[in-house]
Structure 1
Protein backbone atom coordinates (compact mmCIF):
# COMPACT_ATOMS: atom_id res chain seq x y z
CA UNK A 1 0.00 0.00 0.00
CA UNK A 2 2.80 2.43 0.87
CA UNK A 3 4.39 1.91 -2.56
CA UNK A 4 1.11 2.79 -4.27
CA UNK A 5 0.66 5.91 -2.14
CA UNK A 6 4.21 7.04 -2.88
CA UNK A 7 3.84 6.33 -6.59
CA UNK A 8 0.52 8.10 -7.09
CA UNK A 9 1.48 11.03 -4.87
CA UNK A 10 4.61 11.55 -6.96
CA UNK A 11 2.64 11.38 -10.21
CA UNK A 12 0.13 13.95 -9.00
CA UNK A 13 2.94 16.23 -7.85
CA UNK A 14 4.55 16.18 -11.30
CA UNK A 15 1.61 15.79 -13.69
CA UNK A 16 -1.55 17.66 -14.44
CA UNK A 17 -4.20 17.32 -17.14
CA UNK A 18 -5.94 19.59 -19.65
CA UNK A 19 -9.06 20.05 -17.52
CA UNK A 20 -7.05 21.12 -14.47
CA UNK A 21 -4.84 23.47 -16.51
CA UNK A 22 -7.89 25.08 -18.13
CA UNK A 23 -9.53 25.49 -14.72
CA UNK A 24 -6.31 27.06 -13.37
CA UNK A 25 -6.19 29.48 -16.32
CA UNK A 26 -9.82 30.46 -15.79
CA UNK A 27 -9.20 30.95 -12.07
CA UNK A 28 -6.28 33.25 -12.84
CA UNK A 29 -3.71 31.02 -11.16
CA UNK A 30 -0.12 32.09 -11.70
CA UNK A 31 1.52 29.57 -14.06
CA UNK A 32 3.28 29.62 -17.38
CA UNK A 33 2.16 27.10 -19.97
CA UNK A 34 4.98 26.07 -22.31
CA UNK A 35 4.49 24.33 -25.65
CA UNK A 36 7.68 22.33 -26.21
CA UNK A 37 6.82 21.11 -29.73
CA UNK A 38 8.59 22.24 -32.89
CA UNK A 39 7.86 25.31 -35.01
CA UNK A 40 5.53 23.59 -37.49
CA UNK A 41 3.42 22.11 -34.69
CA UNK A 42 3.17 25.52 -32.99
CA UNK A 43 2.10 27.14 -36.28
CA UNK A 44 -0.56 24.47 -36.85
CA UNK A 45 -2.23 25.17 -33.53
CA UNK A 46 -1.53 25.81 -29.87
CA UNK A 47 -3.18 26.43 -26.54
CA UNK A 48 -4.32 30.00 -26.03
CA UNK A 49 -1.92 31.70 -23.64
CA UNK A 50 0.94 29.23 -24.14
CA UNK A 51 4.55 30.23 -24.75
CA UNK A 52 6.51 28.41 -27.45
CA UNK A 53 9.90 27.01 -26.44
CA UNK A 54 10.94 23.75 -28.14
CA UNK A 55 12.34 21.49 -25.43
CA UNK A 56 15.86 21.58 -26.90
CA UNK A 57 15.91 25.38 -26.52
CA UNK A 58 14.89 25.53 -22.85
CA UNK A 59 18.43 25.86 -21.41
CA UNK A 60 19.23 28.72 -23.82
CA UNK A 61 15.97 30.56 -23.07
CA UNK A 62 15.64 29.93 -19.34
CA UNK A 63 16.24 33.62 -18.53
CA UNK A 64 12.79 34.34 -20.02
CA UNK A 65 11.13 32.55 -17.09
CA UNK A 66 10.55 33.69 -13.53
CA UNK A 67 11.68 30.87 -11.21
CA UNK A 68 8.92 31.85 -8.75
CA UNK A 69 6.16 31.00 -11.26
CA UNK A 70 5.29 27.31 -11.76
CA UNK A 71 5.70 25.91 -15.25
CA UNK A 72 3.44 23.43 -17.06
CA UNK A 73 4.78 21.87 -20.25
CA UNK A 74 2.98 20.01 -23.01
CA UNK A 75 3.72 18.30 -26.31
CA UNK A 76 1.50 16.58 -28.88
CA UNK A 77 -0.14 13.64 -27.15
CA UNK A 78 0.31 10.68 -24.84
CA UNK A 79 2.47 9.19 -27.60
CA UNK A 80 4.99 12.05 -27.43
CA UNK A 81 7.75 12.31 -24.83
CA UNK A 82 8.86 15.87 -25.63
CA UNK A 83 6.77 17.04 -22.66
CA UNK A 84 8.80 14.80 -20.36
CA UNK A 85 12.03 16.08 -21.93
CA UNK A 86 10.89 19.67 -21.45
CA UNK A 87 9.82 19.05 -17.86
CA UNK A 88 13.18 17.44 -17.12
CA UNK A 89 15.01 20.44 -18.57
CA UNK A 90 13.05 22.87 -16.39
CA UNK A 91 13.51 20.67 -13.32
CA UNK A 92 17.26 20.41 -13.91
CA UNK A 93 17.37 24.21 -13.99
CA UNK A 94 15.59 24.44 -10.63
CA UNK A 95 12.03 25.26 -11.72
CA UNK A 96 8.79 23.95 -10.30
CA UNK A 97 7.37 22.09 -13.28
CA UNK A 98 4.59 19.68 -14.18
CA UNK A 99 3.81 17.90 -17.41
CA UNK A 100 0.30 18.15 -18.85
CA UNK A 101 -0.60 14.55 -19.62
CA UNK A 102 -2.53 14.05 -22.84
CA UNK A 103 -0.79 17.05 -24.38
CA UNK A 104 -2.24 19.21 -27.11
CA UNK A 105 -4.32 16.31 -28.43
CA UNK A 106 -6.41 15.96 -25.28
CA UNK A 107 -6.65 19.71 -24.81
CA UNK A 108 -8.25 19.89 -28.27
CA UNK A 109 -10.42 16.80 -27.73
CA UNK A 110 -11.80 18.36 -24.54
CA UNK A 111 -12.77 21.46 -26.53
CA UNK A 112 -10.47 23.90 -24.75
CA UNK A 113 -9.48 27.10 -26.60
CA UNK A 114 -6.79 26.86 -29.29
CA UNK A 115 -5.43 29.23 -31.87
CA UNK A 116 -2.95 29.55 -34.70
CA UNK A 117 -1.43 32.58 -36.41
CA UNK A 118 -4.76 33.38 -38.08
CA UNK A 119 -6.71 33.41 -34.80
CA UNK A 120 -9.01 31.11 -32.79
CA UNK A 121 -9.58 27.56 -34.02
CA UNK A 122 -12.97 25.80 -33.84
CA UNK A 123 -13.76 24.11 -30.55
CA UNK A 124 -14.99 20.50 -30.66
CA UNK A 125 -15.91 18.28 -27.75
CA UNK A 126 -15.00 14.59 -28.03
CA UNK A 127 -17.42 12.31 -26.15
CA UNK A 128 -14.63 9.74 -25.79
CA UNK A 129 -12.71 12.07 -23.51
CA UNK A 130 -15.43 13.91 -21.62
CA UNK A 131 -19.14 14.13 -20.91
CA UNK A 132 -20.81 16.12 -23.69
CA UNK A 133 -24.14 17.56 -22.68
CA UNK A 134 -26.63 18.30 -25.40
CA UNK A 135 -28.93 21.19 -24.56
CA UNK A 136 -32.41 21.27 -26.08
Structure 2
Protein backbone atom coordinates (compact mmCIF):
# COMPACT_ATOMS: atom_id res chain seq x y z
CA UNK A 1 0.00 0.00 0.00
CA UNK A 2 1.32 3.42 -0.84
CA UNK A 3 1.27 5.93 1.99
CA UNK A 4 0.27 9.50 1.20
CA UNK A 5 1.19 12.76 2.91
CA UNK A 6 -2.37 12.82 4.23
CA UNK A 7 -1.91 9.35 5.76
CA UNK A 8 1.28 10.50 7.48
CA UNK A 9 -0.33 13.68 8.80
CA UNK A 10 -3.52 11.99 10.04
CA UNK A 11 -1.59 9.14 11.69
CA UNK A 12 0.72 11.65 13.38
CA UNK A 13 -2.23 13.68 14.68
CA UNK A 14 -3.97 10.51 15.88
CA UNK A 15 -0.89 9.35 17.78
CA UNK A 16 -0.65 12.75 19.41
CA UNK A 17 -4.35 12.79 20.28
CA UNK A 18 -4.46 9.24 21.60
CA UNK A 19 -1.04 8.87 23.26
CA UNK A 20 0.86 12.13 23.63
CA UNK A 21 1.44 11.45 27.33
CA UNK A 22 2.83 7.97 26.73
CA UNK A 23 6.17 8.84 25.16
CA UNK A 24 7.56 7.41 21.95
CA UNK A 25 7.04 3.75 22.98
CA UNK A 26 3.36 4.32 23.71
CA UNK A 27 2.83 6.19 20.47
CA UNK A 28 4.51 3.38 18.55
CA UNK A 29 2.20 0.84 20.22
CA UNK A 30 -0.88 2.86 19.27
CA UNK A 31 0.56 3.29 15.78
CA UNK A 32 0.94 -0.47 15.40
CA UNK A 33 -2.65 -0.98 16.50
CA UNK A 34 -3.68 1.32 13.66
CA UNK A 35 -1.31 -0.39 11.21
CA UNK A 36 -2.73 -3.78 12.18
CA UNK A 37 -6.16 -2.48 11.19
CA UNK A 38 -4.80 -1.06 7.92
CA UNK A 39 -3.04 -4.36 7.14
CA UNK A 40 -5.93 -6.68 8.05
CA UNK A 41 -5.89 -8.06 4.51
CA UNK A 42 -9.61 -7.85 3.88
CA UNK A 43 -10.84 -6.06 0.78
CA UNK A 44 -13.20 -3.23 1.70
CA UNK A 45 -12.30 -3.68 5.36
CA UNK A 46 -14.65 -2.29 7.98
CA UNK A 47 -11.64 -0.58 9.54
CA UNK A 48 -10.88 1.49 6.46
CA UNK A 49 -8.54 1.31 3.51
CA UNK A 50 -5.64 3.56 4.57
CA UNK A 51 -4.08 5.14 7.64
CA UNK A 52 -6.25 8.22 7.21
CA UNK A 53 -9.31 6.08 6.56
CA UNK A 54 -8.77 3.94 9.65
CA UNK A 55 -7.93 6.87 11.94
CA UNK A 56 -10.87 9.01 10.88
CA UNK A 57 -13.52 6.30 10.61
CA UNK A 58 -16.29 7.16 13.06
CA UNK A 59 -16.15 5.55 16.50
CA UNK A 60 -12.64 4.14 16.15
CA UNK A 61 -10.46 6.80 17.78
CA UNK A 62 -12.17 9.17 20.18
CA UNK A 63 -9.67 11.98 19.58
CA UNK A 64 -11.42 12.55 16.21
CA UNK A 65 -14.86 12.95 17.78
CA UNK A 66 -15.90 16.59 17.46
CA UNK A 67 -16.86 16.58 21.15
CA UNK A 68 -13.37 15.45 22.23
CA UNK A 69 -11.10 18.22 23.60
CA UNK A 70 -8.29 16.99 21.31
CA UNK A 71 -10.34 17.59 18.17
CA UNK A 72 -9.55 21.31 18.06
CA UNK A 73 -5.85 20.42 17.83
CA UNK A 74 -6.30 17.60 15.35
CA UNK A 75 -8.46 19.72 13.06
CA UNK A 76 -5.89 22.52 13.08
CA UNK A 77 -8.06 25.04 14.96
CA UNK A 78 -5.40 25.05 17.71
CA UNK A 79 -1.70 24.37 17.17
CA UNK A 80 -0.14 21.16 18.46
CA UNK A 81 3.11 22.04 20.28
CA UNK A 82 5.90 21.54 17.71
CA UNK A 83 8.08 19.23 19.86
CA UNK A 84 5.09 17.00 20.66
CA UNK A 85 4.06 16.89 16.99
CA UNK A 86 7.65 16.03 15.98
CA UNK A 87 7.72 13.08 18.38
CA UNK A 88 4.38 11.77 17.12
CA UNK A 89 5.67 12.15 13.56
CA UNK A 90 8.76 10.07 14.39
CA UNK A 91 6.50 7.34 15.80
CA UNK A 92 4.25 7.48 12.73
CA UNK A 93 7.18 7.29 10.32
CA UNK A 94 8.78 4.36 12.17
CA UNK A 95 5.53 2.39 12.24
CA UNK A 96 4.59 3.04 8.62
CA UNK A 97 8.10 2.13 7.41
CA UNK A 98 8.25 -0.99 9.59
CA UNK A 99 11.42 0.31 11.26
CA UNK A 100 10.24 -0.99 14.64
CA UNK A 101 8.63 -4.30 15.51
CA UNK A 102 5.04 -4.53 16.68
CA UNK A 103 5.18 -4.42 20.50
CA UNK A 104 1.44 -5.17 20.66
CA UNK A 105 1.78 -8.61 19.00
CA UNK A 106 -1.02 -7.96 16.52
CA UNK A 107 -3.38 -5.86 18.63
CA UNK A 108 -6.27 -4.17 16.85
CA UNK A 109 -7.79 -2.61 19.97
CA UNK A 110 -6.70 -0.82 23.13
CA UNK A 111 -8.22 1.28 25.83
CA UNK A 112 -6.93 3.81 28.32
CA UNK A 113 -6.86 2.70 31.93
CA UNK A 114 -8.32 6.08 32.85
CA UNK A 115 -11.70 4.89 31.58
CA UNK A 116 -14.15 4.26 34.43
CA UNK A 117 -14.68 0.66 33.31
CA UNK A 118 -13.32 -1.52 30.49
CA UNK A 119 -15.19 -1.50 27.17
CA UNK A 120 -17.62 -4.36 26.52
CA UNK A 121 -15.47 -5.73 23.69
CA UNK A 122 -12.76 -6.76 26.21
CA UNK A 123 -14.73 -9.89 27.13
CA UNK A 124 -13.26 -12.72 25.10
CA UNK A 125 -10.36 -10.64 23.72
CA UNK A 126 -6.70 -11.57 24.19
CA UNK A 127 -4.61 -9.04 26.13
CA UNK A 128 -1.27 -8.58 24.38
CA UNK A 129 0.43 -5.63 26.12
CA UNK A 130 0.14 -3.22 29.03
CA UNK A 131 2.13 -0.07 28.42
CA UNK A 132 1.75 3.16 30.34
CA UNK A 133 -1.94 3.95 30.62
CA UNK A 134 -3.06 1.67 27.76
CA UNK A 135 -3.97 -2.01 27.53
CA UNK A 136 -3.82 -3.63 24.08
CA UNK A 137 -5.85 -6.57 22.73
CA UNK A 138 -6.10 -8.90 19.76
CA UNK A 139 -8.70 -11.49 18.80
CA UNK A 140 -11.53 -9.15 19.76
CA UNK A 141 -14.85 -10.90 19.14
TM-score for the superposition, normalised by structure 2: 0.27
Structure with the higher fraction of residues in helix conformation: 2
Structure with the higher fraction of residues in strand conformation: 1
Larger Rg: 1
